[in-house]
Chains A and B, each alone.
Chain A
Amino acid sequence: MVQLTRGTWAQAGTSLDFKTGNWRSTQRPVHVHAKAACHAACPAGEDQQAWFALLQEQKVQDAWVSLVHANPMPGVTGRVCPHPCETACNRTGVDGALAIHNVERWLGDEAVRLGWDYPVEPPAANAPTVAIVGAGPGGISAAYHCVRLGMKAEIFEALPEAGGLLRSAIPPTRLPRNALDGELNRILDLPGITLNTRQRLGRDLTIDGLRAQFAAVLLSPGCELPKHWSVKGAVPADLHEGLQLLRDFMDHGALPDAAKGDVIVHGGGNTAMDICRIMKRAGAKSVTLITASGLPGPGTAPDDIINVVPRELEEAQEEGIEIIDHATVSRLIMKGSRVTGVEIVSLKKEAGKDGRKRRVEFEGTERVVSVDMVVPCVGEQVEPEAFEGYLDGAYFWPDNPFGRIADRVFAIGDARGNRGTVAAAIGDGRLAAEAVAAELSGEADPFADERPVMELDGLNTAYYAGSSRARVAKLPVSERTFEAEIEGPISRSEALAEAQRCLSCGNCLACDNCWTMCPDNAVIKTTELAMDGSHYVFDYDYCKGCGLCVQECPTGYIQSVPETA
């Protein structure tokens, strides 16, 4: 028999001896857990993506626990927050932002309904005690975070009840009192939190006294003093300032007689919006808001849009509030000391010589409107009494994110000049408590999260199916009262479905794309060894650096970085 010569042959899989990893010349793929845009935008520091991920696994209580790690009052913020998270949501550029505030509110309500325990331990008997001035959202958040971090908190509140402006200035149509009390009382009942009501700084207490007695002092007095308002020096004799009017109305349910006629509200915040709607509902003939900002629309610059919760603006317009944007009151027309009309002039913020924007009134656009009442809502400042030596002008201006204004003294919430939302106050409370905890245990200040933010252009949207935002029922205009909540709740199934819409920006969602699409078999799937929150590791011995996985990663979790070493 003829013996054939053997052909050339090689043993199976021996190409592994050849490390193609040294072909990489400039770039290598790495896992980067960038901040989701919602998380980056949240003044309270919530990681919405983290709790949505738990909701996707149907772990509802775990999602709430993850949420209250940053914000103990989701039921409140889900109702009153202007939700910058939704504005930032990358899904806005695909098919509409997630209904984050609706789901947040649902989680908060579920926790109250089912009595879920806050993730805190009772503080030790000898734990340091922190004094907190003011029981508004900032103070409550600070107290909660002090307990969460193993300290005790003693709150001093001037009014007979806790809640601050959540109780005194936000109408029940936005925040029903049972929703507020349900959440608030659960926090105040936590072991280690003591609430002292009717204790006013300056009358019953002093900052220096508190400093001597407590481990640290957190100031969250809010802003109680209306900013001075006049038009070229003229002030009506019967001036009612917006926030005061709102508080009076919430207290005893009545408005001045002039509010039955034509009313002009001058300002551009949520208080202005609330007072407009209350007066309209209380029977004002007409209510007109005059604001220097613009209405949201394609032609309006983002920093020029009126600073109110978008859905509040929508609802106000439904209810017949007229809005004159890009305008201001230029003259009061008085009969004696009473207002009978105002002159309105158009204006806009324009960049000046030095590039800074200033308001420019346009000559020739003046018009006169007859009115019965003008309500200024131009903001408030800190009541300076009792804060001498700590205030810088009208507000506190700490030079650090934790709010430290003196040794062991911190300022949080609206009393800081550049705040203005409940969520910001809650975030301030957390940061201050964390700084106090670090200081008392002799550590340096905690690190700020400086990870980069994942924007829409970092995602590969080919991998996401379209899905429209959950629609939530609203009370029709004809049925709106002073009490009933206007925005309806979201159901469990709707909330869980909404969670499925989360794009998981910047975070691995274990889709297997990198593992499936690597031509070089250089992505290894493992649950044990991937320590970075994903299920994959790169085998740099063989990765040629083609960048396919970077391109095809839906969430931007895989990024190219320059090859070093």
Chain B
Amino acid sequence: MAPRSDTSKRLSELRMKHGRPPASPLEPKAEKAETLREAQPRFRGLESGHRACQGCGEALAARLVMESAGPDVMVANATGCLEVFSTPWPQSAWRVPWIHSLFENSAAVASGMEAAMKAKGKNTKVLSFGGDGGTYDIGFQALSGMLERHHNVLYVTYDNEAYMNTGIQRSSSTPHAATTTTSPAGKERMGKRHLKKDLLSIIAAHHIPYAASASVAYPADLQRKVRYAMGVEGPTFLVIHSPCPLGWRHDSALTVEVARRAVQCGLFPLVELERGALTNIMPIREPRPVADYLELQGRFAHLFRKDDYRAQEELDHLQALADHNIETYGLKGEGLDPMDSTGMSHVRRGGPLAGRS
């Protein structure tokens, strides 16, 4: 047998170290027995030990994305919570090549990484991650450029609707009437005065092959969208609604419940766009009142004050915005659909069966 090159020796060392299975029968198996964690039947792209808060929606979303995108991916990450909590020096929670440069340029860095891969003749997919601050506001022009230059990159924005990392400042993604440290509810204003930026429509205007919104409350739907985007050649975009227990001021156990209600009331529509055209939506079986969603969160507590006449007005305003979404995207479901906002949650107990009404 020919002596192995240095590279393959190094590769097998790395594989042993990280418990990855050998790439070929010639390579030695890891000597130590697989731990339970290593034996998990899924790719652990974002590993435990990261410093996200209890019940972090963004950590959950990133974990779900990495599971279905990995392992043959590279990540460019904008500044933000995700970057900070996943890479406390000298450790990293990532198990893929991962680069952080600045707040505003993750799409630009990803563009360069993709160009480099192309030059080297490799098919490794490049992912670009950012929060809503790094996407809706600060990194917006870099993102627009990346889309326009048609790089083969999946851009994922983890939308927790404010600058959480620096202390809950409003972003252009913060919903109307939410209180943040820079849009406090009080005598002058009922939280943020302006509206949440309709980023998806701007993305759609780039006529990219695929853009979609997803929510941590529907992991199967989220992962389907990631897998679909991974198979597309060219720029793709995913925005994931990721509740932040700290900034939204809800119980850490309620992250998924809050996200689910956001979808079910129509304030966060789950849609898919191809070449700028609406191609799919998740229908809402029974739209819930927005109050169901808002009442769980401290950032909307001022909307439930009985002694303030503006509270009802703003509640009605948010309801109107949700109704507008339902109208615009045609979200109202028709009957029992296993793929609607209710059916997608169901575990297999009592599901539709042949011969039953």
Contacts and interface: CB of A to CB of B under 8 A. Distances in A.
A464 B347 contact: yes
A525 B350 contact: no
A307 interface: no
Contacts of A19: 49
Nearest to A20: B49
Contacts of B251: 547
Residue of A462, A503, A513, A522 ringed by the most chain B CB atoms within 10 A:
A462
A449 interface: no
Contacts of B36: 524, 526, 529, 537
A519 B60 contact: yes
A551 B256 contact: yes
B49 A542 contact: yes
A546 B95 contact: no
A467 B91 contact: no
A466 B219 CA distance: 21
B353 interface: yes
A313 B41 CA distance: 54
B51 interface: yes
A128 to B, nearest CB: 45
B148 interface: no
Contacts of A513: 347
A548 B49 contact: no
Query: Which range holds the interface residue count of chain A?
Result: 35 or more
B250 to A, nearest CB: 11
Interface residues of B, number: 61
Interface in B45-90: 46-57, 59-60, 63-64, 86-90
A14 B256 contact: no
Contacts of A463: 345-347, 349
A550 B253 contact: yes
Contacts of B346: 463-465
A524 B37 contact: yes
Contact of B48 (A493, A502, A520): A520
Given A545-B54, A554-B347, A517 B256 contact: yes
Interface stretch (A4-12, A163-171, A282-290, A351-359): A4-12
Interface string B236-261: 00000000010000011111110010
B226 to A, nearest CB: 14
Nearest to A524: B36
Interface in B248-298: 251-257, 260
A179 interface: no
Contact of B219 (A20, A467, A502, A516): A516
Interface in A463-493: 463-468, 493
Nearest to A504: B349
Contacts of A541: 48
Contact of B353 (A497, A517, A550, A552): A497
Contacts of B51: 18, 20
B352 to A, nearest CB: 7
Contact of B349 (A16, A493, A509, A519): A509
Interface string A324-354: 0000000000000000000000000000000
Contacts of A12: 18, 92, 94-96
A10 B91 contact: yes
Given A465-B352, A521-B63, A547-B55, A13 B88 contact: no
B253 A500 contact: no
B89 A522 contact: no
A465 B253 contact: no
Contact of A519 (B63, B89, B91, B95): B63
A13 B349 contact: no
B176 interface: no
Nearest to A513: B347
B39 A18 contact: no
Contact of B44 (A468, A521, A548, A550): A521
A564 interface: no
Interface string A437-467: 0000000000000000000000000111111
Nearest to B46: A521
B253 A464 contact: no
Given A15-B48, A548-B255, 20 more contacts: A10-B87, A12-B94, A14-B90, A14-B91, A17-B49, A18-B49, A18-B51, A18-B88, A464-B349, A465-B351, A467-B356, A500-B351, A500-B353, A511-B347, A517-B216, A517-B256, A520-B48, A525-B40, A546-B245, A547-B55
Interface of A: 8, 10-20, 23, 462-468, 493, 497, 500-504, 509, 511, 513, 516-522, 524-526, 529, 537, 539, 541-542, 544-548, 550-552, 554
10 A-B pairs with the lowest CB-CB distances in the bound complex, closest first: A547-B253, A15-B49, A546-B55, A546-B54, A511-B347, A467-B350, A10-B92, A542-B48, A15-B93, A519-B60
8 contacts: A15-B48, A18-B51, A20-B48, A463-B346, A464-B346, A519-B52, A544-B54, A552-B256
